Structure 1
Amino acid sequence: MPKDKIPTYQQTHPPDLATIDALKREGLQPADGQPVAALFKLRTGDREHLSGLYRRSEAVPLQV
């Protein structure tokens, strides 16, 4: 896989990756400058949603 190609998962993704919403529910947020590790494509009915996935291990506590 070329270095600049971001992996894309459909319907499910590895447990070490999370969307911003999932991180927030865990009291976390992406670190400053933390890159998107992968993309997550979810199809519901006739709609398709695309979200960035971040590594939980690189996330930091949520700033309020």
Structure 2
Amino acid sequence: MGKDRERGQISAFDFAVVRQAFQQSVWEQGIAEGRWPDHAKRLFQQLTDEGADDDMIGHIIAR
């Protein structure tokens, strides 16, 4: 993902990619809803090389 951002920020496009990847991986892997926050944090880290705060995770896992 793009590295032309300030530390701790991602573009709206990158966020949409992370959210779509999260939704698809939850569906494909059958991840229980109780494990979604941890899964979202790991996925976000893997895709962006950044950490995500709780608000960001909340937006990723929102229905």
Asked if TM exceeds 0.5, the reply is no
- Of structures 1 and 2, the larger Rg is shown by 1
Specify the TM-score bucket, using the shorter chain as the normaliser.
under 0.3
What's the TM-score once normalised by structure 2's chain length?
Answer: 0.25
What's the TM-score once normalised by structure 1's chain length?
Answer: 0.24
Give the number of the structure whose residues are more often strand, by fraction: 1
